Amino acid sequence: MAQKYSPHEIERKWQHKWAADHIHEVKEDSKRPKFYALTMFPYTSGDLHVGHWYAMSPSDVCARFKRMQGYNVLHPMGFDAFGLPAENAAIKHGIHPYDWTVKNIDNMRRQFKSMGAVYDWNREVITCLPEYYKWTQWFFLRFYHAGLAYRAKAPVNWCPECQTVLANEQVVGEGSCERCGTPVTKKELEQWFFRITKYAEELLDHSRLDWPERIKIMQRNWVGKSEGAEISFRLEDASIKQREIKVFTTRPDTVFGATFFLLAPEHPLVPQLTTPEHKAEVDEYIAWCRRQTEYERTAIGREKTGAFLGSYIVNPLNGERVPIWITDYVLPTYGTGAVMAVPAHDERDLEFARKFELPVRTVIAPLGWTGEELSEAYTDSGTMVNSGEFSGLTSEQGYEAICNLLEEKRWGKRTITYRLRDWLISRQRYWGAPIPMIYCDKCGIIPVPEEDLPVLLPPDAEFKPTGESPLKYCQSFVNTTCPKCSGTAKRETDTMDTFVCSSWYFLRYTSPETGDAPFNADKMRYWLPVDLYTGGAEHAVMHLLYARFFVKALRDMGLVNFDEPFSRLFNQGTIICSGDKMSKSRGNVIAPDEYVAEVGADAVRGYLMFIGPWELGGEWNDRGLVGVSRWLNRVWSLATTDYSSRVVDLETEKEFLHLMHKTIKEVTADLERLRFNTMVASLMEFSNYLSKVKERGMVCDSLWREAISHFLLLLAPTAPHLAEELWARTGHSYTIHNQPWPEYDQELAKEEEITLVIQINGKLRDKLLVPASISEAEAKELALNRERVKAYIDGKKLTRVIYVPRRVVNIVVAS
RNA sequence: GCCGAAGUGGCGGAAAGGCAGACGCGCUACGUUCAGGGCGUAGUGUCCUUAAGGACGUGAGGGUUCAAAUCCCUCCUUCGGCACCA
């Protein structure tokens, strides 16, 4: 009896040999087509759980498959290493964030290596090391000089738990912190922003990207483009310096229905527009608004609130004076922070009008309108009425006519508004890339000269639960000299959002050794863009949007030569455990290590792919793992025990060859489509068939050997260690992973015989094994002459016979 | 409220509009010098039937079609995203 399959042993053996032989190292090679297969790098939380394996294994299989197909494949791995948990660990356990992170990386790298992936570890990127964050800072300076980074005072999202500001994209659900789930509050702060809004329009364009539809939709909604017009309403009170207030509307055709005017409570003109007799009420309302959380304020369906300022403004179209109110449903951050209220044609405005007994005037008539007051806001298009010279036009005509008039009279213009806000990148924390700016009393805000980079994090900062950045209290860091006047100056103590670090890591992988630039331009041009990017969908409007923005900005600076970083994107689903998403806080994390020790990495990889479609995720289940493990054991004995032919027959050999080519075809197609579950099923089906044939010795020895070697090649991406071991044991030369992917013969992959299904009135009544080449006439003839068919159609009128080549004959009879 | 994805045996899941349930788990029976979560063979959607065979069956209800898990309409459930954006 041959030796038993002991995964632990062979996996260790081959991992060491592959590493010693450097077979996973890749070099640029202009003679071969390149393939850049990238998986989102993990955060350095400490351990890899099976959720990480679920993300990494299939993409490794894909990279291996592409390698065997002859591509020069870059499949790198690294660590997203800055961030809050490291700092929290420092506060809690007194360990320095750097030490905590490095310790975690060492452990995670070891776990990664046990997976047997083709990562080229020479290209590892770690974002918290100075040789990396030097370039994150360098990019910041480039953005600053290009006018894409600016400092501004703004009401920002503040997480009281994390003690830092957050970007809009990092506020999720009912206004909670994306990291810790704490409700976010607003704070007025001076912060650094990246001008992502400059690229709003271009970020809407996914036309050349092979991305999941839902991610494209999420990004489009996030950017939130609205077309309309800006209209200036004239202030009645001539003593106010600013003579007018602009509103944004998507419905300029409804302007004659504007019966009142709304401002956000935060609007800067509110104090000036408030008359003395309304001041008390207005102040009280503003104070009440301030007490609302962002979520409470913007929750849909809540009762309208507001206050009258006592003053009026004039509608330029009809010269009508309308009262100015403030209300919290007008957002200071969208459009102009001011709205012309058209209650007849906007649900929110109608609610407001009803609550405060303000007039409602229909100006767009629905079809068949007879002049009565409408019970609901009519928001569709219709015929304009009560609109002066524009009455009688359709909404669409009126839209154009009014816009033309606005532009002619300089009362306003056509305009586009986006929901997207600029990206707030300042974080009041230690463990991030310091923002390389200096504040000088004499010279103002001065960028750190490029040659002085990196601005290093001071190793001796103290970590205390003060809620403020340790950098702020680190005198050796804060105090510096002004690069311009050499006088005393202070450093910016905020660090950058870690999403800045992850917005360019895919560029660094191409040449992580480069010391004089963020990346080597030639190598970058060879590898980029990424051909296949895989990761979780939770990054739809964060990382994936930021990285696209980064690339567009770099392109405009002449640093990269492409428009989009990720040509094809695929989002895998989530692995759940006892009904919940796996997470440390839930305590339901499953570590792969014990399973790897028990059944081997190949079985764990195979099982994760077999669970179901990759994009759907699924539940981790030990019993399912057993199935794959048993299969690999059967594969082991299939290939390691001797084969001897006994009752060779030509028909079986033909069928055997056909199944082999069909399997190659299916496995190849499934890998291209990233359908790993059915790919594994095809492999199982073929190995089951091989076992059956082996038992009876029905094919000749050479054909058997060919089938085994082809099977091992198809298995190699999925179970790289086992395939390598069996490749060696069946007398092939090292290494299976440098072999070409098997080709299939189109003719042999086709079925020779097919099962023709015979239906009567669409119901299955008989089956027929026929040659695939059968003609329509023959098929119908055969079907109609079957005894069982005759019994059904006897005495009935035959109305139709439908023939679908290679599939079905449907006989339609009248009863 | 809006947008998106999904709903198929006891379970995970397969099915270019054309044999529903591939593959795997579980279960049943039998076999095995098999003490274990081992291996092999056969079976396994539900109901009727000794059998041959038949009826029913892909969240619910309609529709299109010779033919629907698949396409269309209405609704229900679950999960994700957005959420007063003028």
HSE at residue A554, side-chain half, CA atoms within 13 A, is: 25
**A663 and A683 Cβ atoms separated by less than 8 Å:** yes
According to the model, what pLDDT value does residue A81 have?
Answer: 96
% residues pLDDT > 90 (chain A): 70
Question: What local confidence, expressed as pLDDT, does residue A292 receive?
Answer: 79
**On chain B, which bases lie within 7 A of the protein's CB atoms?**
1, 3-6, 12-16, 18-20, 22-26, 37-41, 54-55, 66-68, 80-86
Reported ipTM:
0.94
Tell me, what's the pLDDT at A773?
86
Residue A578: pLDDT band with limits 50, 70, 90 = confident
Distance A338 CA to B86 C1' (A): 8
Q: How many Å apart are A296 CA and B57 C1'?
A: 49
Residues lying close to strand B (Cβ under 7 A), chosen from 3-62 of chain A, are: none
Amino acid at A100: W
Beta-bridge partners for A193: A150, A424
Query: What pLDDT, on the 0 to 100 scale, is given for residue A53?
Result: 94
Query: What's the pLDDT at A471?
Result: 93
Q: Is the peptide bond before A735 cis (omega within 30 degrees of 0)?
A: yes
Asked if residue A610 keeps its beta carbon closer than 7 A to nucleic acid strand B, the reply is: yes
Token digits of residue A764: 């299955």
**What is the maximum span of chain A, computed from C-alpha positions, in angstroms?**
109
What confidence category does residue A576 fall into, taking pLDDT thresholds of 50, 70 and 90? confident
Cβ contacts of A528 within 8 Å, gap of 6 or more: A36, A506, A507, A510, A560, A562, A565
Decide: helix, strand or coil at residue A39. strand
A465-CA/B35-C1' distance, Å = 60
Segment A736-771, tens digit of pLDDT: 999 999 999 988 998 888 888 899 888 888 888 888
Q: CA–C1' span, A522 to B48, in Å? A: 75
Q: How far is the CA of A30 from the C1' of B54 (A)?
A: 67
Query: So what's the pLDDT on residue A2?
Result: 56
Nearest nucleotide to A618, CA against C1' atoms: B12
CA–CA gap between residue A360 and residue A376 (Å, rounded): 11
| C1' of B25 to CA of A68 (Å) | 32
What is the pLDDT averaged over residues A710-732?
96
Nearest to A455 by CA among A135, A204, A173: A135
* Residue A358 per-residue DSSP state: -
Is strand B within 7 Å of residue A801 (CB)? no
Q: Which residues pair with A361 in a beta bridge?
A: none
Residue position matching structure tokens 């990207």: A209
Question: Distance, angstroms, CA A207 to C1' B61?
Answer: 39
Task: Answer yes or no: are the C-beta atoms of A196 and A422 closer than 8 Å.
Answer: yes
Mean pLDDT of chain A: 92
State mean pLDDT over A797-813: 88
Residue A338 forms beta bridges with which residues?
A: A263
Q: Which helix (H) or strand (E) holds A51?
A: helix A50-68
Q: Rounded mean pLDDT of A64-87?
A: 95
Residues 268-297 (A) near nucleic chain B, CB < 7 A: 297
Residue A174, CA: closest nucleotide via C1'?
A: B83
Please give the C-alpha separations between residue A655 and each of A152, A442, A444, A661, in angstroms, as whole numbers.
73, 86, 81, 10
**pLDDT (average), residues A194-215:** 93
The structure's pTM equals 0.93
Structure-block tokens of residue A429: 């924390």
Lowest-pLDDT range of A232-236, A273-277, A499-503, A575-579? A575-579
Contact predicate A339/A324, CB 8 Å: no
Q: Residues A549, A199: contact at Cβ < 8 Å?
A: yes
Q: What is the pLDDT of residue A815?
A: 64
Q: Tell me if A105 sits within 8 A of A45, measured CB to CB.
A: no
A688: nt with nearest C1' to CA: B23
Provide the CA A315 to C1' B24 distance, Å, integer: 71
Window A199-238, strand B contacts by Cβ < 7 Å: 213-214, 217-218, 221-222, 224, 226, 228
The whole-number pLDDT of residue A1 equals 42
Q: Which residues, 6 or more positions from A710, have their beta carbon under 8 angstroms from its beta carbon?
A: A660, A664, A742
Between the CA of residue A522 and those of A457, A553, A560, what are the distances in Å?
31, 19, 10
Over the stretch A649-707, which tens digit does the pLDDT of each residue have?
888 899 899 999 999 999 999 999 999 999 999 999 999 999 999 988 889 999 999 99
Structure confidence at residue A393 as a pLDDT band (50, 70, 90):
very high
Digit-coded pLDDT (tens) for A223-278: 999 999 999 999 988 888 889 999 999 999 999 999 999 999 999 999 999 999 99
**Is the Cβ–Cβ distance between A447 and A437 less than 8 Å?**
yes
- Amino acid A806: pLDDT: 86
Amino acid identity, position A362: T
Q: Nearest nt to A222, CA vs C1'?
A: B82
- State the pLDDT at residue A467: 67
Nucleotide nearest to A419 (CA to C1'): B85
Of the pLDDT bands very low, low, confident and very high (cuts 50, 70, 90), residue A185 is confident
Q: Which nucleotide is nearest to A611 (CA to C1')?
A: B12
Question: What are φ and ψ of residue A542, in 5° steps?
Answer: -115, -100
Hey, which bits of A136-236 come out as E strands? 149-159, 164-166, 171-172, 176-177, 185-194, 225-235
Which of residues 292 to 321 on A have a Cβ less than 7 angstroms from any strand B atom? 297-300, 302, 304-305
- Scanning every strand, the nucleotide with its C1' closest to A295's CA turns out to be B83
CA of A692, C1' of B42: distance in angstroms: 15
pLDDT for the residue numbered A784: 87
Cα→Cα distances A602→A3, A12, A117, A606, Å:
18, 12, 10, 6
Distance CA A713, CA A742 (A): 7
Residues in chain A, overall count: 815
In this complex, the answer to whether residue A662 has its CB under 7 A from any atom of chain B, a nucleic strand, is no
Instruction: Please give the radius of gyration of chain A, using alpha carbons only, rounded to the nearest integer.
Output: 34
What is the Cα A24 distance to its own chain's centre? Answer: 28
Percent of chain A clearing pLDDT 70 (strictly above): 99
Residues A128-139 have a mean pLDDT of: 98
Which CA-bearing residue is nearest the C1' of B38?
A: A630
Are the C-beta atoms of residues A151 and A445 closer than 8 Å to each other? yes
Q: Which of A135-144, A168-177, A566-575 has the lowest mean pLDDT?
A: A168-177
Query: Residue A175: is its pLDDT beyond 80?
Result: no
Q: Which nucleotide minimizes the distance between its C1' and the CA of A630?
A: B38
pLDDT tens for residues A15-42? 999 999 999 999 999 999 999 999 999 9
Is A718 strand, coil or helix?
coil
The CA distance from A61 to A59, in Å, is 5
- Asked whether residue A586's C-beta has any atom of DNA/RNA strand B within 7 A, the reply is no
For residue range A408-443, list pLDDT tens digits in order: 999 999 999 999 999 999 998 899 999 999 999 999
Strand B close residues, chain A 727-786, CB < 7 angstroms: 755, 757, 759, 761-765, 767
Q: Is A801 exposed, middle or buried, given 0-12, 13-18 or 19+ CB atoms closer than 10 A? A: middle
Contact A750, A772 (CB under 8 A): yes
Sole residue written with tokens 């504007």:
A258
